[in-house]
Amino acid sequence: MDTVITKRERRQRLTDDLLRPLFHTTPVFFLVAGALLIPVLWFLYVWYIQLTQGLGVTGLRTPSGAAWGIYIANFVFYVGIAHGGIAVAAAIRLLKLKGYEPIGRIGEVLTVVSLSMAGLSISLDMGRPDRLFNIIAFWPQRIGSSSLSWDVTVIMLYFSLSALYLWLTMRHDLAECAAQFPRRAWLYRPLLLGYRPDEKAKIDRMAWWLSIAIVFLIVMLSGGVVPWIFGLLPSRPGWFGALAGPYFLTAAISSAMAGVLVVSAMVRGVFHWEAHIKPQIFRGLGIFLGIMTMFYLYLILAEQLTMRYAAPISEFLVSEMLLTGEFAPLFWSMLIGGFFLPALFLILQAFHPRWFGVTRTTIAAMVILLAFWIKRFLIVVPSLLRPLLPFPEGTYQVTWVEWSVTAGVLALAILMFIAFVKLFPMVEVSEE
C-alpha cells in the first residue's frame, strides 16, 4: 500500500516536473522571446529589401564570383541538423536505447523546425520565390531528370513522415496534458482526434516500422538527393564525385548529433531537468559525435588527397584555395580547432570519466556544430570561384543582407523551438 502511494506520488511529481514549462511561464521567457523577435523582424525587413531590389544585394555573382553562397550553406546545414532528432528517436526505438528516451522528442522537434528552416533557406536563395509553385506545377515532367525536383520530393516526404511520427508518439502525452490543463484543450483536442487510451500498442508498432522508413530516408536525403545536387555536376571541381553521398551523410549525422546534444543541454539547464536528462546521455552522445567527427576527418583527407595527387588542374586549384589559398585560415582553423581538438576531447573522455562534464561536452559539440557550418560554406563557395573557363578571378564577400538573413533564420528556428516547448510536453512522460 505504502509503495503504491509513493509510486503514484513519484509519478505525479515527475509529471508535474516535466509539464511545468507548459503551466509556468516566467518573465525571462518573454524577455528571450522578445529578444529573438528583433532579429526575426529585422530579417523580414531585409528580405523585403532583397525581394524588391533583387539578389544583387547579396555578395553573389556569376560567373566571376559565387552563384551560390551562405543561403545554400544554410540549407545544407539545416537539412543535416534535421536528421539528429529522428535518428536519435529511431535509434531509441530500434536499438531499444531506453536511457536516451528523454531527449527523443527534443530531437524530433529539432527535426521539424530545422527542416522548415532548410525550406525557407532555399526560398531565400531563389531569384523568383514568387514562382516557387512552378516546382510543383512542373514536377511531373521534371522529376525524371532534375536533381532539384528529387530534393523537393524527398524533403517533403521526410518532413511529413517526421511530423507524423512526432504527432503519433506524442498523442499519449497530449491526452494527459488535455486532462491536466483544460484551458489549453483547444490546442490539444484537434491533435487528439479519435484518441483512445488503448491505441498506444498500435502506435508503438507503427512507430517502429516508421523509424526504419525514416532512417532509410535519412540516407537517401542527406546521403542522397542533397549531395547529388552537387556531386553529379562535373562542371564544378570539388563537387563532382561519388564521395559526395557518404561525405554529406557523415557531416549530416555528426552535426545532427551535435545539434541534439547542444539543444538538450540547454533545455536541461533552463528547466533544471538534471534528474531526467542524465549526464550519461551526454557522455554517450559525445563519444558518438567524437567518433563520427574523426571519421569525417578521414573523409576530408581522402577528398583532399584525390584533389591533389594526380588530379585535373581544376580540382587541384580548388584544393589549393582551401589548403594554402584565400580559404586556408578558415579551413585549418576549422580542421584543427573545429573538428580535431573537440573530437579528440570527446573520445578521450570515454577513457577518462573524470574529464567528463556536461558543460564541457556541450561546448565541444557547439564548436563542432559551428565547424560543420563552416565546412558547408567551404563546400559550396570555393568550387564556384574557379570556373573551368578562365574567367577573371572573382571573390565572394558576404554582405550584411546575408548575415542578417542567416541570423534571422537562426532566431526564427530558436523561437519556433521555444514556442513548442511552451505548448507541448518536451519529454515523454514515460511509464516506469
Partner 1 sequence: MTGSLFELAEIMPVVNASTAPASQTVPIGFIVLAVILTPVVTLLLISMFGNPRTFRVPALFLGGFVLLVGALVLGFAALSLVLKFFVPQ
Partner 2 sequence: MSPIRRRDFVRYMGGMVGLAFLGKLGSSLLISRDRVEAGQSGDLLPPSSPKADGFSTTADPAIKYGMVIDVGACIGCRRCMWACQKENNTPSTISPLWIEVFELKSGTSVTGHPSIEDLKQGATTSYTQSPTEGRWYLPAQCFHCENPPCVKVCPTGATYKDADGLVLMDYTRCIGCRLCVVACPYSARRFNWWRGEVPAEETNPLVPVRQIGVVEKCTFCVHRVRRGLLPRCVEVCPVRARHFGNLNDPESQVSKVLQENLSFRLMEELNTGPSIRYITRGKKWIQS
Amino acid at 181: F
The contacts of residue 380 (CB under 8 Å, 6+ apart) are 66, 68, 69, 70, 72, 73, 76, 230
For residue 309, the minimal CB distance to partner 1 (Å) is 26
Closest Cα partner for 376 from 23, 76, 100, 40?
Answer: 76
Interface with partner 2 in residues 102-141 (CB under 8 A)? 122, 125-129, 131-132, 134-135, 137-138, 141
Number of residues binding to partner 1, judged by CB under 8 A: 49
Instruction: Count other Cβ atoms within 10 Å, centred on residue 304.
Output: 18
- Among 60, 86, 87, 364, indicate the residue that binds partner 2 (CB under 8 A): 60
Cell 545554400, residue located = 72
With CB under 5 to 8 Å by kind, the binding choice for 68 among partner 2, partner 1, none is partner 2
With CB under 5 to 8 Å by kind, the binding choice for 393 among partner 2, partner 1, none is partner 2
d(CA 12, CA 9): 5
Binding mask 168-207 for partner 1 (x = CB under 8 A): x------------------------xx-x--x-xxx-xx-
**Piece of the chain touching partner 2 by CB under 8 A; list 77-85, 142-150, 301-309, 332-340:** 142-150
d(CA 410, CA 395): 26
In this structure, the chain runs to a length of 432
Closest Cα partner for 259 from 410, 415, 368, 98?
Answer: 368
Grid coordinates representing 133 are 509553385
For residues 128 and 183, which CB has a smaller minimum distance to partner 1 in the complex? 128
For residues 12 and 235, which CB has a smaller minimum distance to partner 2 in the complex? 235
With CB under 5 to 8 Å by kind, the binding choice for 297 among partner 2, partner 1, none is none
Interface with partner 2 in residues 388-427 (CB under 8 A)? 388-393
Closest Cα partner for 304 from 278, 325, 279, 283?
Answer: 325
Interface with partner 2 in residues 210-249 (CB under 8 A)? 229, 233-236
The contacts of residue 352 (CB under 8 Å, 6+ apart) are none
d(CA 371, CA 341): 11
Interface with partner 1 in residues 2-61 (CB under 8 A)? 48, 51-52
156 touches partner 1 by CB under 8 A: yes
Interface with partner 1 in residues 274-333 (CB under 8 A)? none
**Alpha-carbon dihedral 194, 153, 70, 304, rounded to 10 degrees:** 120
Cell 567527427, residue located = 293
208 touches partner 1 by CB under 8 A: yes
For residues 143 and 301, which CB has a smaller minimum distance to partner 1 in the complex? 143
224 touches partner 1 by CB under 8 A: yes
For the chain, helix, strand, coil in percent to 5 are: 80, 0, 20
For residues 6 and 235, which CB has a smaller minimum distance to partner 2 in the complex? 235
For residue 83, the minimal CB distance to partner 2 (Å) is 23
149 touches partner 2 by CB under 8 A: yes
Cell 577528398, residue located = 303
d(CA 80, CA 163): 16
Taking the CA atoms of the chain, what radius of gyration do you get in angstroms? 23
- Among 67, 76, 81, 244, indicate the residue that binds partner 2 (CB under 8 A): 67
Residues of the shown chain interacting with partner 2 in the complex, contacts defined by CB under 8 A: 53-56, 58, 60-64, 67-68, 122, 125-129, 131-132, 134-135, 137-138, 141-142, 145-149, 152, 229, 233-236, 313-314, 317, 384, 386-393
Residues of the shown chain interacting with partner 1 in the complex, contacts defined by CB under 8 A: 48, 51-52, 123, 128-133, 135-136, 142-146, 149-150, 153-154, 156-157, 159-161, 163-164, 167-168, 193-194, 196, 199, 201-203, 205-206, 208-210, 212-213, 216-217, 220, 224-225
